[in-house]
Structure 1
Amino acid sequence: MTPMKREMNLISRPVHVLMLCAALLVGQGIFAAPARAQANAEAPEKVWIDGRAEPGIDPDAPLRFSSLANLAAELSPAVVNLIVTYDAGSAHAGIFGAPQRKSRRLAQGSGFIIHPDGYILTNYHVVNGADEVKVRLLDKSEFDGHIVGVDPQTDVALLKIEAKQKLEAIALGDSAHLRAGEHVLAIGNPMGLSHTVTTGIISALDRRDLGIQEENYVDFIQTDASINPGNSGGPLISLSGEVIGINTAINRHGQGIGFAIPIRVVKTILPHLAKTGYVVRSWLGVRVQPLDMRLANSFGLESATGAVVTEVVAESPAARGGLKVGDVVLGFDNDSLDSGVSLRWLSSTAGAGRVVDIDVLRDGERRTLAVKMGKLPDQTIPKIPGRQARVASTNLHPEFGVEVEPLTRSLADELGASGHRGVVVTKVGTRSSANIAGLRRKDVIIEVGNAEVADSSEFDNALNSIVEGQFVRLKVLRDGYVVYLAVRK
């Protein structure tokens, strides 16, 4: 673990809320990607507004303090303070590592309105484990904040408030073409000081391996704009008046060293958070390491752009698509692996079930492989306070009287079903037809009739094809052995 990783701190209040200690393994790459989300009739097609055509401040004009003041005044109404209540026994409170009294704790963070209907962006770590979220606007009005969706891997959360009137919203810009040295503003709630405005520059781009996240999906923007505990979730704003990042972490032993999540990352996952509440990720199934110049030259490359494959997981999408150890990945889905564009992130936005072209260098020759992305095994579905996520991981089937969940690798090993795909029975109703037929909890259903079922969705489809009142044959794995059961629908 590097000194930087020991010194990183997320910046919700209080200051000691989440000291980061997770080291990231260089070259680790079991890649994951968002899949298409289920529809949510309550969510609009797009829950944010895009950047405006005319910039707030001409970047080529002389910078005046009055210009910054006007920009801050214009955008501050879209920035909110978050007052978060945690039970002493919640996951958030337990992070402190000391015995907790049976009481409630308060923490504060920041957020910003991205749609006039009341959609708000913030950090996941600000609301993780929250019992209650209050949203306070610039005019001191308060609303109950409802958590719509979260993505722990990128530390992003989407909230919503219900207001009678349309709200001031701030546009989301494009962080793909930023340059070090550009001026930025940060607006937030440091130490509980409402709508504090600070300015600075972009100090650097593409900061990675900071220990801020369990998964290294994000290359961060570094800024020297003053941010402190309570700024978490607030906007980092360009002179065009658009959000280019979410302020997330600081180096607590340094000065003027803060980090923000690039807004391009956030815009990629926002539709999924709005529709399903979380991001379903897909799987490529390789480990890679980045190239340096010496290694690049050894492969006959003139620049250190790309990643060399060090492991291909058996039976993974990568293996089925023909990737091999020693391949140098140069492009993914028509994107080149230039500096600051990692294979991990490109694959994480590909989508499960999509076929993508992967450009590789093998034995000195360039070739393109077509790889169909698969679903990430053993994905943990985040808990969303106040909202039951629309997931297919748990399904109640009243016609059978059973509940099932997907068969993960760990469950398969535990239940003697290694190498199989199916669904696990988690509950059987006492008077149900399934119970009468002999179906048991922990049975693994691998076929319904003649149809193989790899997940809950396929299980649903197979059941729907059976006429009510008919018997359907189930192929079940029980303690490692195959059992057939006939169940009346």
Structure 2
Amino acid sequence: MKNVTRALVILLVLLAFAAHVEAAAPELFGTSLIADIAERVSPAVVAIESVHYVRARRRSGFGDPVLDRMFGHLFEDDFMGFNNVIPRRGNGSGVFISPEGHLLTNEHVIAGADEIMVKLPSGKSYKARVIGKDMRTDLAVLKVDADEVLPHVPIGDSSALRVGEWVVAIGNPFGLGMTVTTGVVSALNRDLSVDRERNYKDLIQTDASINPGNSGGALLNTGGELIGINTAIIPYGQGIGFAIPVNLAKRIVGDLMAYGRVKKAFLGVTVQAITPELAKYFEIPSEGVLVTEVVKDSTAFKAGVVPGDVISDIQGRKINGLDDFHSALDAQRVGETAQIKIFRKGKTGVFDVEFKENPASKSPLGVTAKRVDSELVKKYTLYVDRGCVITMVAPDSPAGKAGLRAGDVIQQINRVPTLTEKEFDSAVARLQAGSQAVMRVVRGQTVNLLLVNIE
């Protein structure tokens, strides 16, 4: 009898424990939380179709060389393919971030598009226009002019995320329409190189299912707030997706909406990595970046930074190498002040700087240039005395992607001479987004023709 009583007591204890565990289970399951989030947020997540019109240059003709020679001139345009326009379509996702119709998506979703259509979950479609885009961060802001008040997603705080938190992804995978998936934050601050032109920093990694077409869609916390823009997947991996943190997007979106581009904070220094050999020879720390040049009248110049200084910290962000240096600059805004920590001759000092905009980023080419003079001939070891020499190239600019660099001399743009700064500025001002420019470039003792894609 005692054994039976003891067994009953143990059973009751186990049942009570099981009931407690069940009661303490996360509210994510067994409730309508996910359904509530999807119902509330999905109307603000849209499908994007980008269309790029390509002119085919195939000659069709009659299929008979004799007939083509005799009668082809009567239908020359059709035979030469001038009227054979083929639309290339791409699918992606986007998120409304304002009731006025501002839409946040990935730059690669709309890159090269001649036409952008946005389809709402309600079935309505609108044409969208590009307000601004930034290839470096892979973000773009579009604008839809609708005849209705559009729903938008509340913005969260991605800096508050913790690994293991539940997240919800909403997007348009494979062009199928709005799809909801769930998962957790698998990791934070992930770096990812997708190709030569796209290197992502500080991404959110999640196992929420993200597929082609989800790019530009929403990653949400359990409060239904936007904490990331779904961006990339690893083709050979399953259950691994990435999103751009919304806190980074906030900084970028402000510039895109105000200026149509991102104003890059400019310190005015050229730096290089510190190798063990350099650290030993110059008796400097191995952590940080070594300043090799300071641009005259730049922020760094006015603060007192000189070649040979080692930058080890920018506004509390430790600089271990070039990647840290560029990431720290990307985190700064034009007009903001910051403190940079400098090592010089065995001592450490702190300099206050105010970030200005990179002057090269104001140009459609992404360069600054000056007319060749004796000083520039000596500085860059030039072999010509006619043209405009590039003095600065903005990161990820059309000029930078084409391979132009400081010291190159531009003598022509689209066959127009650029022998003076006025001629150079005038030729650059005529460049149109989406066009190509042919440049006569002198580098060293060689002359080349270079094709530059204007974004």
Shorter-chain TM-score category? 0.5 to 0.7
> Are 1:344 and 2:326 counterparts?
yes
Equivalent pair of 2:49/2:91 in contact (CA under 8 Å): yes
The amino acid of 1:135's aligned partner reads V
Match of 1:269 among 247, 252, 256: 252
In the alignment, which residue of structure 1 is the partner of 2:358?
376
1:85 — aligned with what?
51
- C-alpha distance in 1 between matches for 2:318 and 2:391: 35
Aligned in 2, Cα 1:444/1:418: closer, same or farther, shift over 3 Å? Answer: same
Shift of 1:277: 1.0
SS at match of 2:158: coil
Which whole-Å CA distance do the structure 1 matches of 2:139 and 2:38 have between them? Answer: 24
Q: Partner of 1:367 in structure 2?
A: 349
Kindly indicate whether the alpha-carbon contact (under 8 Å) linking 2:370 and 2:388 is maintained by their aligned counterparts in 1. Answer: no
**Counterpart Cα distance in 2 of 1:291 and 1:264:** 33
Alpha carbons of 1:212 and 1:243: their partners in 2 closer, same or farther (altered >3 Å)? Answer: farther
- Is the aligned partner of 1:408 residue 2:408? no
Residue in 1 aligned with 2:420?
443
Q: 2:292 aligns with which of 299, 312, 319?
A: 312
For 2:310, the equivalent position in structure 1 comes to 327
1:388-399 paired onto structure 2 within 5 Å? 393=363
Deviates more, 1:315-324 or 1:120-129: 315-324
User: SS in structure 1 opposite 2:38?
Assistant: helix
The aligned counterpart of 2:182 is: 199
Q: Is the 8 A contact 1:291 1:308 kept in 2?
A: no
Counterpart CA distance in 2 for 1:177 and 1:363 is: 40
* Match among 287, 303, 315 for residue 271 of structure 2: 287
1:255 has 2:235 as partner: no
Structure 2 vs 1, CA of residues 364 and 212 (structure 1 numbering), >3 Å: closer, same or farther? farther
Alignment check: 8 A CA contact 1:217 1:345 kept: no
Once the two structures are superposed, residues 173-204 of structure 1 have per-residue CA deviations (whole angstroms, 9 ceiling, x without a partner) of: 11112111111111001011211001111111
Going from structure 1 to structure 2, the CA distance change for 1:63 and 1:216 (only over 3 Å counts) comes to same
After superposition, the Cα gap between the structure-2 partners of 1:143 and 1:425, relative to the gap in structure 1 and judged at 3 Å, is farther
Gaps of 5+ in 2: 1-23, 57-83, 373-381, 393-409, 427-455
Shift of 1:158: 0.4
Alpha-carbon displacement from aligned partner over 1:235-269 (angstroms, at most 9, x marks no partner): 11111211111111110001011111111111001
% identical equivalent positions: 35
CA distances 1:23-77 after superposition (whole Å, capped 9, x unpaired): xxxxxxxxxxxxxxxxxxxxxxxxxxxxxxxxxxxx9953225211111111101
* Residues 307 and 330, structure 1, Cα contact 8 Å, conserved in 2: no
Aligned CA RMSD, in angstroms, stands at: 4.1
Over 3 Å counting, the alpha-carbon distance change for 1:455 and 1:325 in structure 2 is farther
Q: Which residue of 1 aligns with 2:61?
A: none
**TM-score (norm. length: structure 2):** 0.63
Kept after mapping to 2: 8 A contact 1:288/1:307: no
How do 1:86-165 and structure 2 match up within 5 A? Answer: 86-88=52-54, 102-165=85-148
In structure 2, what is the Cα distance between the partners aligned to 1:185 and 1:338? 34
Distance in 1, matches of 2:164 and 2:177, equals 27
Structure 1's 142 and 351: CA in aligned 2 closer, same or farther, altered over 3 A?
Answer: same
Determine helix, strand or coil for the equivalent of 2:223.
Answer: coil
Q: For residue 188 of structure 1, what is the aligned residue in structure 2?
A: 171
Deviations 1:88-145 (CA, angstroms, capped at 9, x unpaired): 269xxxxxxxxxx841111110001111111110000000111111111111111111
Match of 1:10 in 2: none
Distance 1:344 1:279 in 2: 15
How far does residue 289 in structure 1 lie from its aligned partner after superposition?
5.1
Q: Which runs of 5+ in 1 are unaligned?
A: 1-58, 91-100, 380-391, 395-404, 428-439, 447-453, 457-489
Q: Which has more radius of gyration?
A: 2
TM-score in terms of structure 1 length: 0.59
For 1:374 and 1:60, the matched residues in 2 are separated by 52
Give the direction of change, closer, same or farther, for the CA distance of 1:290–1:80 in structure 2 (3 Å limit).
farther
Aligned partners of 2:301 and 2:37: how far apart in 1?
A: 52
SS in 2 for 1:130: coil
Given the superposition, is the C-alpha separation of residues 84 and 374 from structure 1 closer, same or farther in structure 2, using an over 3 Å criterion? same
Larger RCO: 1 or 2 (CA < 8 Å, sep 6+): 1
Q: Which residue of 2 aligns with 1:46?
A: none
> Structure 1 residue aligned with 2:35, among 64, 69, 73?
69
> Number of paired residues?
335
More helix by share: 2
